[in-house]
Amino acid sequence: MWRKASAAALLALAVGYFYHGGPVLPEQILQYISLPNFQTSSQNSHNSLEQVISAAWETLIILPTRQWSKVAVGVNACVDVVVSGVGLLQALAVDPGSGLDHEVLHSKEDLKEAFIHYMERGAAAERFFSDSEAFQRIARAAAEYPGAKLYVGGNAALIGQRLATYPDLMVLLCGPVGPKLHEMLDEQIVVPPESLQETDEYHLILEYKAGEQWGSSQAPQANRFIFSHDVSNGEMSSLETFVASLDEFEPDLVVLSGLHMMEGQGRELWEERLKEAVLAISEIRKDIPIHLELASMTDKDYMNSIMQEVMPIVSSIGLNEQELLFLSQAGEGPHADMDSWKGIPDVGQVSDILFWILEQHGRSEPLSESDLTRIHFHTLAYHILVTVDGYWGNQAAAVMAGARVASSQACGLQAVDVSKVQLKAPLEFYSSHTEPREKLSLNPTEPVTVWHRGNITFHMTAVLVCKQPLRTVGLGDAISAEGLMYSELKTQQPF
């Protein structure tokens, strides 16, 4: 009798957790019960939601019928020096203090304030350091700091590295490739001779862990702050070489990144260089889809220029929550009055902004001259792939593949280890922040929630968040690369 009463109480408690949006049921409950739709009958009742989702991914993630055979990637590439942010700043004899954002860094003091500003928010950011000599001194200190590690860096090079894990795929990489970077690149990656240069470009990655403290500041989650004095990438000097190489390489897909690097060069340069970039991109054959990978920016005019001039001539974009909100702020879109996200970004608000981008700057109408039909959004707890109907296939598998690689790579593993990850995504959410809206839920056995707004379709999946991430740099690039590998372009709707 008491066993039945206990089971009923546990079931009631579990249902309460589910309907009040609790992201993870306590293990004690999961050991006793099995909720409908959470586990299949063949699974043991002690399986966690993480186990159910991971198992579902392995079953449901399948490559498309038509796969890319050649992908060209450009144009930012560098060597990343990864160090403890707090440790390096202490080694530079910088005292902790209050945070303050800076669009461009001019000194160690600016660096400290910007680092603290983003560390307190657990947010990623990237900034240009204007003083070449001061940057070189900091770079030397970073390279000599105990535990400093050198990695392939730059969005294009990182995307190329991820794509090169597929043995049947040819990858072309254009960018400023110095001897150290060339040595570290996968053998499968082809670098045109015009892209090789005598010296490497270095970027400094200041990492911090969840809960890490410095003075009165504490990081709510693990992340990183990136800065550099990188003129080659800053001017996108390899762009014309990249576009010129496409005729001979004949890719099925072009992946473009590095536009954010121009922001630190000043308005006069980026205005002129962006016009040249638009002309160069426009020369790419219309039947080749182009994916644009965005990154952290602070100049609203520059972001607005990218939105108006570049987005309509690409087929797909990839971005995170900071970039999404800043894009809306720059273009006065939905929820532009928010300063920042509070915790996990609200799915309905994210959905509103993604819908607005495709309606205003994408090909949501047949007569539109825009080529933009796909957006891959990623944040720590979940990902959303949104597409205009009729242009892309296999997007459920693509969004799950992106989430799976985020879960494994953050933990430094080749596959998901369910003991090292946790579910943080909401189990219930709304399709929009405004009416009319649909109440939706996440089913772990089929972990892709799909909804529609007009002729635009949303695919959302949870991420199994690594509890103790080993490296956060390059996750967004791996997510976008993996999502593209599992995406299929529908040929009956030419761009």
As a whole number of angstroms, the distance between CA 110 and CA 94 comes to 11
Coil, helix or strand at residue 88? helix
Q: Which pLDDT score, from 0 to 100, does residue 21 have? A: 43
Contact present, 266 and 167 (Cβ < 8 Å): no
Q: Which pLDDT score, from 0 to 100, does residue 8 have? A: 45
Q: What is the DSSP letter of 189?
A: E
Asked if residue 328 has pLDDT above 70, the reply is: yes
- Number of continuous H segments (helices) and E segments (strands) in the chain: 16, 24
**Token code pair at residue 427:** 């189990």
**Token code pair at residue 202:** 């270095």
Calculate mean pLDDT across residues 111-128. 94
What does R_g of the chain's alpha carbons equal in angstroms? 23
Calculate mean pLDDT across residues 285-292. 95
Q: Which pLDDT score, from 0 to 100, does residue 34 have? A: 35
CB atoms near residue 298 (< 10 Å): 18
Q: If we measure between CA atoms, which residue out of 259, 148, 156, 71 comes closest to residue 474?
A: 156
Q: Give the ranges where 69-212 is alpha helix by DSSP (H).
A: 85-91, 108-119, 132-144, 155-163, 179-184
Asked if residue 12 has pLDDT above 50, the reply is: no
Chain-centroid distance of CA 177 in Å reads 23
**Token code pair at residue 133:** 């000599």
Q: Please, which pLDDT band fits residue 495 given cuts at 50, 70 and 90?
A: very low
Q: Find tokens 């066993």 and name the residue.
A: 3
Catalytic sites, residue numbers: 477
Q: pLDDT tens for residues 331-347? A: 999 999 999 998 999 99
Asked if residue 106 has pLDDT above 90, the reply is: yes
Calculate mean pLDDT across residues 146-159. 93
As a whole number of angstroms, the distance between CA 393 and CA 360 comes to 23
Q: Which pLDDT score, from 0 to 100, does residue 295 have? A: 92
Asked if residue 39 has pLDDT above 60, the reply is: no
Question: For the chain, what's the residue count?
Answer: 495
Least confident of 4-13, 373-382, 401-410, 474-483: 4-13
How high does pLDDT run on average in the chain?
88
Q: Which pLDDT score, from 0 to 100, does residue 424 have? A: 95
The residues near 149 (Cβ < 8 Å, ≥ 6 apart) are 81, 82, 83
Calculate mean pLDDT across residues 115-144. 91
Q: Which pLDDT score, from 0 to 100, does residue 35 have? A: 38
Asked if residue 201 has pLDDT above 60, the reply is: yes
As a whole number of angstroms, the distance between CA 61 and CA 459 comes to 13
Q: If we measure between CA atoms, which residue out of 364, 271, 366 comes closest to residue 309?
A: 271
Least confident of 20-24, 370-374, 429-433: 20-24
DSSP 298-361: --HHHHHHIIIIIGGG-SEEEEEHHHHHHHHHHTT-TTTT-SS--SSPPHHHHHHHHHHHHHHH
Q: Which pLDDT score, from 0 to 100, does residue 128 have? A: 87
Calculate mean pLDDT across residues 395-408. 98
Q: Is 367 left (phi over 0), alpha (psi -120 to 50) or beta?
A: alpha
Q: Which pLDDT score, from 0 to 100, does residue 347 have? A: 97
Calculate mean pLDDT across residues 47-72. 95
Calculate mean pLDDT across residues 41-50. 60
The residues near 406 (Cβ < 8 Å, ≥ 6 apart) are 378, 383, 463, 475, 478, 479
pLDDT over 70, % of the chain? 90
Q: What is the DSSP letter of 177?
A: B
**Token code pair at residue 302:** 């520059």
As a whole number of angstroms, the distance between CA 274 and CA 98 comes to 35
Alpha carbon distances (Å) from 281 to 207, 233, 253, 285, 388: 34, 17, 13, 9, 22
DSSP 376-431: EEE-SSEEEEEEETTSEE-HHHHHHHHHHHHHHHHTT-SS--GGGEEE-S-SEEES
Q: Please, which pLDDT band fits residue 236 given cuts at 50, 70 and 90?
A: confident
Calculate mean pLDDT across residues 298-305. 94
Asked if residue 166 has pLDDT above 90, the reply is: yes
Q: pLDDT tens for residues 211-221? A: 999 999 999 99
Model pTM score: 0.81
Q: Which pLDDT score, from 0 to 100, does residue 234 have? A: 76
Q: Which pLDDT score, from 0 to 100, does residue 296 have? A: 86
Alpha carbon distances (Å) from 109 to 87, 101, 105, 298: 15, 11, 9, 19
**Token code pair at residue 96:** 């902790």
